[in-house]
Amino acid sequence: KQEVTQIPAALSVPEGENLVLNCSFTDSAIYNLQWFRQDPGKGLTSLLLIQSSQREQTSGRLNASLDKSSGRSTLYIAASQPGDSATYLCAVRPTGSQGNLIFGKGTKLSVKP
Amino acid sequence: ETGVTQTPRHLVMGMTNKKSLKCEQHLGHNAMYWYKQSAKKPLELMFVYNFKEQTENNSVPSRFSPECPNSSHLFLHLHTLQPEDSALYLCASSQGDFQKFFGPGTRLTVL
């Protein structure tokens, strides 16, 4: 059974720092991996999607990497800003599933001004 | 706000009530999903619809009844719920296996 773990559960950094959020999954048979952002009481915003054949994706200050064989992904946020404060969720889509996503519990990020 | 809308945004109901959650997507997608997000737990898939046909039911109790009248609309009918069903219910849509877009969710409280 696929399980997704995110470490740390919470992170507080000063503004301007570069930071890395970690995601690990137990079964490397995945179709893709997606990073989301969730603001308090709100839905999910998709940040980056990495197909299983890709190693990384970049969008602005965000860079996500994928090492499928070791079951790991990282989300790198450069020059963090207070507006980056949110919960970041990692989700994998197992191969053979009907579009299901298996989510981690998330990392709650707080960027202090 | 995304191209996926959900109503109501907040709902409080008693255990004997019947209510419905509504989701609408304006993105032309062919797949729609219901997810449940409980406190301190990962999001859990509940139902998947592809081209209006239910393709996955993730062992969800029968007190939750989905309905997908067309590719743009998805409902979740609720009856005789339990307090532990209190959660954020999120709707999502996608075009096939591509990126999922989520709605803002309905915060449900069962008294």
Contact assignment for A43 to B56 by CB distance below 8 Å: no
Q: Which residue of B has its CA nearest to A48?
A: B99
B67-95 tens-digit pLDDT: 999 989 999 999 999 999 999 999 999 99
Q: Which of chain B's residues have a Cβ under 8 Å away from the Cβ of A4?
A: 42
Residue A62 amino acid letter: L
Determine the pLDDT at residue A51: 92
- Binned at pLDDT 50, 70 and 90, residue B1 comes out as very low
Question: How close, in Å, is residue B54 to chain A by CA atoms?
Answer: 10
The pLDDT assigned to A97 comes to 73
B71 Rama class: left (phi>0) / alpha (psi -120 to 50) / beta:
alpha
Among positive and negative, which fits the CA dihedral B23, B29, B33, B37?
A: negative
Q: Say how far apart CA B70 and CA B97 lie, in whole Å.
A: 19
